[in-house]
Amino acid sequence: MAGQQVAAIFVGRTMADVRISVIVPVYNEEANLALLRQRLTAVLEGLAGPAYEVIFINDGSRDKSIDILHAFAAEDARLRYVNFSRNFGHQIAVWAGLDRARGQAIAIIDADLQDPPEVIADLYARLQQGYEVVYARRRQRQGESWLKKATARAFYRTLASITSVSIPVDTGDFRIVDRRVVEVLRQMKEHNKFIRGQIAWVGFRQTYVEYDRHSRHGGTTGYTYGKMLRFALDGITSFSDFPLKLASYMGFFVAAASFLMGIYALYGRFIRKDYVPGWASLMLVMLFLGGVQLFSLGIIGEYLSRISQDVKNRPLYVVADESPEAAVGPAKQGL
């Protein structure tokens, strides 16, 4: 409890009233929202009595999700919503929640009930033992294709091996953090958000609780392979310069190899005088060099495009409407 009181110093005005904020990004989740609300509020009432808020971010859903969220907010002022003008992506949706969350503890959870809301109780209990970040680590994942699991696994292992920040493997954004962590996150201005990496970067005392990830309650995944790839590239480019360096390592390696080949060619031409027009080897070298060059350019392009987005400094997201209570929160605008 002591940790919570300290955290309250960072909280101004009426915000101190909120003990737990829960952020829920929503994209085409009409089939899940009613059950989610029921399970979530049951857990939160047990933990915080009335002193909680849930912030749903409707990320341009094409189904009736927003109507359901409007109805929730009308019935209960603790169920806030933010309605984006279009689909901005899961990480940005979570960010809009972080911009508005007023709680001393702030949890992030998916809307599809893959992350059981009841686990928040475990996360919160651990947080109160004096941690600033408690993430939920998947013991197993149900109902997801082997390709998704295999690519996710490969991605987290690769990322772990090339970043200096230790981003925990087998975790999503399902976690609870102390308000202090969110204060720091709000100062991180990059546009390409990789929230789990950013939270790892913040530091403080971090720990985890294990849980079983269920299959979706209803609906289908909003994370296409295209979105996953972009997300993976955001993670890598935000937290590692290794790919940039890889381009120069490869250049170095290829240059050394071509130098040796050059010596060999001269040796064949002038000393052994045994040379044949080597179409195949020439093609090989050309294609290889072309490949390395394009790959290196691509890497540079990936970083450059992100730098250009940061330089443009557009708003992160556009809000069509949101529940009035949200106006009380700090940092109303994205960024």
Rounded to the nearest whole angstrom, what is the least distance from the CB of residue 94 to ligand UDP in the complex? 8
SS3 state at 187: coil
Binding to ligand UDP in span 255-274, by CB under 6 A = none
Give the Å distances, CA to CA, from 59 to 35, 85, 151, 315.
Answer: 19, 8, 25, 15
- Give yes or no for a contact between 163 and 240, defined as CB atoms under 8 angstroms apart: yes
Cβ closer to Mg ion: 112 or 178?
A: 112
d(CA 192, CA 311): 12
Q: Which stretch binds Mg ion (CB under 5 A): 58-66, 108-116, 122-130, 295-303?
A: 108-116
Rounded to the nearest whole angstrom, what is the least distance from the CB of residue 289 to Mg ion in the complex? 43
- Residue 114 in the binding site for Mg ion (CB under 5 A): yes
Radius of gyration of the chain (CA): 25
Cβ closer to ligand UDP: 138 or 180?
A: 138
Q: Label residues 32-60 b or e (16+ Cβ within 10 Å = b).
A: bbeebbebbbebbeebbeebbbbbbbbbb
- Give yes or no for a contact between 206 and 127, defined as CB atoms under 8 angstroms apart: no
Rounded to the nearest whole angstrom, what is the least distance from the CB of residue 142 to ligand UDP in the complex? 11
Among 221, 244, 247, 292, binds ligand UDP (CB under 6 A): 221
Binding to ligand UDP in span 105-124, by CB under 6 A = 110-112, 114
SS3 state at 136: strand
Number of H-type helices and E-type strands within the chain: 11, 8
Cβ closer to ligand UDP: 3 or 235?
A: 235
Q: Could you tell which of Mg ion, ligand UDP, none binds residue 293, using a CB distance below 5 to 8 A set by kind?
A: none
Q: Label residues 287-315 b or e (16+ Cβ within 10 Å = b).
A: eeeeebeeebeebeebeeebeeeeeeeee
- Residue 173 in the binding site for Mg ion (CB under 5 A): no
Rounded to the nearest whole angstrom, what is the least distance from the CB of residue 82 to ligand UDP in the complex? 11
Cβ closer to ligand UDP: 168 or 243?
A: 168
Among 25, 103, 243, 334, binds ligand UDP (CB under 6 A): 25
Q: Which stretch binds ligand UDP (CB under 6 A): 14-22, 85-93, 297-305, 310-318?
A: 85-93
- Residue 112 in the binding site for Mg ion (CB under 5 A): yes
Among 19, 52, 89, 119, binds ligand UDP (CB under 6 A): 89
Among 87, 158, 171, 258, binds ligand UDP (CB under 6 A): 87
Nearest by Cα to 175 from 240, 243, 98, 287: 98
Q: Could you tell which of ligand UDP, Mg ion, none binds residue 27, using a CB distance below 5 to 8 A set by kind?
A: ligand UDP
Strand arrangement of the beta sheet that strand 52-58 belongs to:
206-213, 133-141, 171-178, 105-108, 20-26, 52-58, 79-84, 319-322
- Residue 211 in the binding site for ligand UDP (CB under 6 A): no
Beta strands in the chain (DSSP E): 20-26, 52-58, 79-84, 105-108, 133-141, 171-178, 206-213, 319-322
Rounded to the nearest whole angstrom, what is the least distance from the CB of residue 110 to ligand UDP in the complex? 4
Structure tokens at 76: 């209960």
Which spans of this chain sit near ligand UDP (rule: CB under 6 A)? 25-27, 29, 59, 87, 89-90, 93, 110-112, 114, 221-223
- Report the interface residues with Mg ion, using CB under 5 A: 110, 112, 114
